[in-house]
Each structure stands twice: as C-alpha cells, then as structure tokens.
Amino acid sequence: MENPYASTHPEIRDAVRQLCLKFDGAYWRELDRERAYPTAFVKALTEAGWLATLIPEEYGGAGLGISAAAAVLEEVQRAGCNGAACHAQMYIMGTLLRHGSAEQKQRYLPRIASGELRLQAFGVTEPTSGTDTLALRTTAVKKNNSTYVVNGQKVWTSRAEHSDLMLLLARTTPRDQVEKRTEGLSVFVVDMREELGKGLTIRPIRTMMNHNTTEVFFDNMEVPAENLVGEEGKGFRYILGGMNAERVLIAAECIGDSRWFIEKATDYAKQRKLFGRPIGQNQGVQFPIARAYAQSEAADLMVRKAATLYEAGLPCGAEANMAKMLGSEAAWAAADMCVQTHGGFGFAEEYDIERKFRETRLYMVAPISTNMILNFISEHVLGLPRSY
C-alpha cells in the first residue's frame, strides 16, 4: 500500500534541495553581517521556475497548486536558506490570478514568471492600524477617471527595495460613506520603478534579523486607473482570499525551519561527547528533541490539510490559520531546543543556529500574530463572543 503520509512532490523537493546546496551557511552568514539582499539566491530560484509555481502555464509558469509551492518553500527553509527574501511573490499571486483582468494578467504574469519583473511587495499594514486592516488610512482618490491619487503610509512592507511591483490596499471610499466596514477598500498594482521619487518614498527598517523590510510613504502618488485590480471597493475580500495562501505557505516554511533545527540538534547530540559518552544518550537531551519532532510532525498534518482544502476550492480559513499558528510554534520550540542542545555553540555564528533562531521567531508575530489567530478560532470556529 502506498504511504498516504509520504512527503508530497518528492521530485520538486529533491530539485530544490540540490539548488540550495549552492547557497551554504557561509553565503547566508555574509549576507546577515552586511544586511544584504540574497540577489543570487532569488535569481537562481527564479531561473529554475520555482517562484512561478502558481502561475498558469499559459503565462509561462508551472501551473501547479499550493501544495507544490509549499513543498518548494519548506525545502528552502529545511536547507538552511531563507525564503522570506521572495516568498511573497507566491502568495500575492492569488489576488492577481483570481481578480485581475485579462489585460493585467497578460501584462504582468509572463514577465513575473520569466523574472523580468518582481512582485514581492505587499502594501497593507500601517503604523496606526497594524493588523486592524479595516482601519487603514491610506487613501486613493480618483482623478479625471484616468488615475488615482494615493496618500498615506505603509509599514513592514518587506522587499520593497528589491521589488518592481507592489500590491497596494488603499481606501477609495471614506469609512463614513460605506454601509459595512469591509467595503470601500481597493487593490492596485503599483509599478514602483515609475513612482519612486514621484510621490513614492521607501525607507528601510533595521530589525533583529536580515529581513529587508521597509516603511513606504505616498505623497500624491498617481496610479493609472487601469492598475485597479477587480472592482473598486471590493479589495478587502480579495486580500482575505490571498491571506489563506499566505498562511499555508508561511506554515510550510515553519515546518522546514523546525526540521532544520531538529536535524541539526540530533546530529550534534550524537557526535558531542561529555563525561565519556554522547550527550544524546541523556534523556534530558533526548526528550526535548523528541518533543520538538512530535510537535513538528503534528503541525505538518495541519499544513497538509489546509493545502488540500485550498486546492479543492473549499473553505479553509480555520485550517490555514491553525497551520500557521501550529507551524510557527513548532519552529520556535525546535529553535529553542536546538540552542539548548548546542549550549554555548548555539550562540556561535558559524553554526548558523543563532541566525535561524532570529529568523524563525518572526513567524510568531507576522504576517499575523498568534493572538489574532486565536481570536479567529474563538469567534468563527467556536462561536464565542467577539473580543476585539
């Protein structure tokens, strides 16, 4: 009998692992020290077609599903690399694929698939509203039926300095003029190459990890009306659909991280000898590794469930959110365990653990915090009163 729980897309996983061998720990350590963008790594992924996994074949992509994209990103993380440099191109894609016009798809998708264009910036979060997306203040006011004039600010807009296009969410109808809070928001494709210095300003934010994130300012920036994605005022619904894909793919990355930490800790525990025997012979070392493994495997099952539902076109909001929460918690538990297993060496740069430790901590907070996921489960799954 074929094992139904075997790793999905083994051919993809093997090919991604082979590609990642060219980008070892020394490569990532140098980038981390310089706070530099992994241009060569992203170029290699693009040329191999992995960032076009979800783009239909008619536009030059692979035309595969979310489980294939998840396999790509999981293996990137499991190899010790960092998919955060480019992963948004995968989960942003759904909004353009599902709601973009035929002209927009033809204009952008083939060039994104080939690598001529990068779509890696997602302009949603703002300093004052945070995860309260419906309270965002960035406005887009229509001018002469040909352009929208955008004013406002976004924060934590990662990869903006290294992307050609941004998917931007802005308010096109004032909040006091809509019946529902979810109405009046619209999505635009912004060509940042054309707008930089013409109403668009990008400022990098230095963080505890090399994440290439920024704050973005809009000062009477004009966007062609033809760059509106879908219907005006329906943008929040479009973004929500893409967020399920985002949750699944980030969760897959977390599974990859946790497996990297577990493999690293297991190997070290077998080799490191103290008091005349391997430290892995001690239950005090064994048990945390075993617990991290069990936690990671359980989280992986939820990732698979969410991906399966997503590909079938079935509701998967609860599963996608739980996958992201459980995956991020498993990765963080494995990271903490790995540092503890290595002792002082866990803090040494050359072991790569401290770098990955810093990187994986992000996913307990972003792209959606654990508390907001628990709010979602409480209200929408368990039927408890709304708490916020």
pLDDT tens digits, 263-282: 999 999 999 999 999 999 99
Q: What is the pLDDT, as a whole number, of residue 258?
A: 98
Q: Give the DSSP H/E element, type plus range, for residue 259.
A: helix 235-271
Model-level pTM? 0.95
- Distance, CA of 387 to CA of 385 (rounded, Å): 6
Backbone phi, then psi, for 266, in 5-degree steps?
-65, -45
Tell me if residue 228 falls in helix, strand or coil.
Answer: strand
- Give the pair of three-digit tokens for residue 196: 């930089």
Q: Which residues are 121's β-sheet partners?
A: 166
Contact 364, 332 (CB under 8 A): yes
Residues 146-199 have pLDDT tens digits of 999 999 999 999 999 999 999 999 999 999 999 998 999 999 999 999 999 999
Examine the pLDDT at 17 and tell me if it is beyond 90: yes
Tell me if residue 53 falls in helix, strand or coil.
Answer: coil
Residues 73-118 have pLDDT tens digits of 999 999 999 999 999 998 888 899 999 999 999 999 999 999 999 9
* Residue reference for tokens 């494995």: 334
Tell me which residue of 97, 53, 91, 92 sits closest to 72, measured CA to CA: 53
Examine the pLDDT at 1 and tell me if it is beyond 80: no
Examine the pLDDT at 130 and tell me if it is beyond 90: no
Tell me how long the chain is: 388
Active-site amino acid positions: 246
Q: What is the dihedral of CA 147, 151, 154, 160, to 10 degrees?
A: 50
**Arithmetic mean of pLDDT, 35-57:** 97
Backbone phi, then psi, for 172, in 5-degree steps?
-105, -15
Q: What is the pLDDT, as a whole number, of residue 4?
A: 85
- Say what percent of the chain tops pLDDT 90: 93
Examine the pLDDT at 311 and tell me if it is beyond 90: yes
